[in-house]
Structures are given as C-alpha cells and as structure tokens.
Amino acid sequence: MPIECVKLTKKYHGATSKSLDNVNVSIPTKGIFSLIGRNGAGKTTLTRILGTQLMPSSGHASINGLDVVDDAKELREIIAVIPQDGKPVPWVTPAQMIMTYLMWRGYGIRDARSRALSVIKDVGIYKEKDKHIENLSGGTRRKVLVGCVLASEAEIVFMDEPTTGLDLISRTSFWETLGRLKKDRFFLLTTHYLEEAESLADGIGILDNGKLLVSGSMDQIRRRIRYKYMVTLGKDAKVPDVKGKTVRTSNSTKIMTSEKEAKKIASEMIRRHAEFSMSPISLNEIFYSFVKEDIDLENGESHEEK
Ligand SMILES: Nc1ncnc2c1ncn2[C@@H]1O[C@H](COP(=O)(O)OP(=O)(O)O)[C@@H](O)[C@H]1O
Ligand SMILES: [Mg+2]
C-alpha cells in the first residue's frame, strides 16, 4: 500500500506563508522515491510529517493505511527516519554503534552481535567495522546510520539529504548500497543531486514553494513536458529553424524540441559535418522547466516560444 497525502498543508507557527501547500500525492512504497527541490521547497517539512515527527496544519497523510497523526504509534514500528544532518556517535565503532542500538531495542547480546554483523555486511562497511567512527569518511558514516535503520527492521525508511556534501565516489557507493537494499524495503530520500535521482530513483517528486509540481516515474514525468528531446550544438552554431526552445550557454547551444524535430536537426548537422549530440531531456532540464514555469506564473509573466 502506498503513501497517500490528501490536501496536506503545513504552516509553521508565526510563519506568513505555507511550507507545504495542499499536497496531494500517492507514492508506491516500493523501491526508491526521491524528493527534489530547492532550499526551502518543503522537503524536510514533508519528510518530517511522514516520519510522524511534525504535525500537519491541515489535510491528511497515511502510510500503508496508517494515519501519520492518529496511528503514529503503530506507524513508528514500521518506519525509520534519518534526519537532515543526522550523525552517528563519533567515539565508538560501527559494530559497537549498531550493536548498542539493537540492545536498546531489546535484543540479547548474542542476537545483537550476529545481527549487527550481517547488517554491516549488507551496507558494505565490513572493513571499517572496528574503526572509530570519527576516523571514517563522510560516506561511511552515513552508511553506519543506514545500518542502524536497517537493523531496526523498518520497512519504510525516510532519509533527508543523505548524500549532501559527499564526494562523487561516496555518493555513488551510497546509492549502490540502497539499490541493493531496496528489494526488501522502501526508501524515500531527498536530494539536490538531480542526476542521481534520475538514474537511481524509481519515482521522483518535484517540490517548489511548498507545492508538489509533479510526481511519478521519469517516463511519466517526461510525458508531462512539451519538449522531450534536447539537441546540443556548438556555442556558435547556426540554429536551424525549428519549433522549440533554444538556450545559449557559454560553451554550447541547447535546443529543447520534439523527437521529430530533433531528428531533423540531427540530419542537418550530419549534412553540415557539424558536431552535435541528442538525447531525451534530463531531469535537470525537466526540473528547471517546472520550477521556471512556477516562477513565471507567480510573476504574472508568460514566455513565448517559437
Ligand atoms: N521550524 C520552522 N519554523 C518556521 N518556518 C520553517 C521552519 N522550518 C522550516 N521553515 C520554513 O518552511 C519552508 C520549507 O522548509 P524546509 O521544509 O526545511 O525546506 P527544504 O527541506 O526543502 O529546504 C522554508 O521557507 C523554511 O524557512
Ligand atoms: Mg531540508
């Protein structure tokens, strides 16, 4: 059963605007769902409401049929939350941290030890298991937190910006770990890294100004976009006359257009022996096109496209 939000709204005490504004969404609790948006979009607010840590102002949210307010106690048995900036205790080792965590939850020492060991293998930190956490890389530290959450047997895991600030290699390895673990669990995570969300998440939601602009699989989201293809030409290229949107940057010319028009441009470039590349538009462009539209609507502007 999915996560259901109905008219979910949050206005913090004393705030002038809504941090979540009438969010309606249904998210299947399978695989990985990634919530993306600029700073202040409402990602943390939504994650905390779903994690039963924050009360909505109005509307409802439920997970597997359990209401985040009325059934919070039951819900906490099946969910786990890693907050934004969550950190493991620095002066113990990953093995100690996960074992202690399990013993708090009532496991006997033997069970806790063998369970901790198996989780340590699952998240790929076996080599680091006996080192002090303060000496581990940022990526490994986050994996220790994931280890604790997994040890708890929660089926549904919320992680707020688990990869922010990690270098590319740590981020890739973190996602690989989630990719392996998602068979038995659902992860909802927030991120700024659109290319990661695009290639690794099963579902994506774009939040902006407290509003959910779109949600679904990459294919479903792409279907909502007018121009589904992008052709990239050199920066000084003469742009053929096509229907679409042209953006010139300091080192390239990008044309967002339909598949048919993109193929026309491609054959023209081949005829001219000019360099070009062509691909379905990425989440990056999709994100900006949704968020830009939102900004334009607010300012009462419209933008003409030829
Ligand atoms: N405790 C709070 N009190 C008042 N306003 C808040 C509080 N927490 C967040 N906000 C505001 O709510 C909006 C959404 O914030 P947040 O959910 O943290 O966004 P994100 O995680 O996408 O950066 C922002 O405008 C932020 O300033
Ligand atoms: Mg946040």
What's the pLDDT at 290? 86
pLDDT digits (tens, 9 = 90+) for 136-164: 998 899 889 888 888 877 899 999 998 88
Mutate which of 8, 12, 16, 57 for ligand 1? The one with the most ligand atoms within 8 Å of its CB, which is 12
What's the pLDDT at 95? 95
Q: Which residue has the higher pLDDT, 7 or 234?
A: 7
Share of the chain above pLDDT 90, in %: 57
What's the pLDDT at 300? 41
Q: What pTM was computed for the model?
A: 0.86
Reported as a pLDDT band with limits 50, 70 and 90, residue 301 is very low
State in Å: Cα 45 to ligand 2 middle. 7
User: Does pLDDT of 57 surpass 50?
Assistant: yes
Task: Determine the Cα–Cα distance for residues 153 and 94; give it in Å rounded to an integer.
Answer: 17
pLDDT digits (tens, 9 = 90+) for 155-191: 999 999 988 888 888 888 888 888 988 998 999 999 9
Mutate which of 19, 81, 191, 206 for ligand 1? The one with the most ligand atoms within 8 Å of its CB, which is 19
What's the pLDDT at 296? 53
Nearest 5°: the CA angle 184, 187, 193 is 135
Contact 189, 270 (CB under 8 A): no
What's the pLDDT at 294? 59
Hunting for tokens 């026309």 — which residue is that? 264
Range of weakest confidence among 17-26, 83-92, 287-296 = 287-296
Among candidate residues 44, 55, 47, the one with its CA nearest the CA of residue 10: 55
The ligand 1 site (C-beta within 6 Å) comprises 12, 15, 19, 37, 39-45
Among candidate residues 237, 229, 227, 228, the one with its CA nearest the CA of residue 276: 237
Architecture of the domain whose range is 3-222 = 3-Layer(aba) Sandwich (3.40)
What's the pLDDT at 88? 85
Contact 128, 170 (CB under 8 A): no
User: Does pLDDT of 295 surpass 60?
Assistant: no
Tell which atom from ligand 1 comes closest to the C-alpha of 160. 21
Residue 262's Cα: distance from chain center in Å? 29
Q: What ligand is nearest to the CA atom of residue 38?
A: 1
State in Å: Cα 44 to ligand 2 middle. 4
Three-state SS letters, the chain: CCEEEEEEEECCCCCCCCCEEEEEEEECCCEEEEEECCCCCCHHHHHHHHCCCCCCCEEEEEECCEECCCCHHHHHHHEEEECCCCCCCCCCCHHHHHHHHHHHCCCCHHHHHHHHHHHHHHCCCCCCCCCCHHHCCHHHHHHHHHHHHHHCCCCEEEEECCCCCCCHHHHHHHHHHHHHHCCCCEEEEEECCHHHHHHHCCEEEEEECCEEEEEECHHHHHHCCCCCEEEEECCCCCCCCCCCEEEECCCCEEEEECHHHHHHHHHHHHHCCCCEEEEECCHHHHHHHHHHHHHHHHHCCCCCCC
Q: What ligand is nearest to the CA atom of residue 54?
A: 1
Q: What's the half-sphere exposure (Cβ side, CA atoms, 13 Å) at 37?
A: 27
- For the packed helices 138-151 and 94-104, what is the interaxial angle rounded to 10 degrees? 30
What's the pLDDT at 304? 39
What's the pLDDT at 36? 96
Mutate which of 44, 161, 191 for ligand 1? The one with the most ligand atoms within 8 Å of its CB, which is 44
Nearest CA to ligand 1 atom 1: 12
Nearest CA to ligand 1 atom 7: 12
- Top mean pLDDT of 57-71, 87-101, 159-173, 250-264 is at 57-71
Residue ranges of the chain that CATH labels 3.40.50.300: 3-222
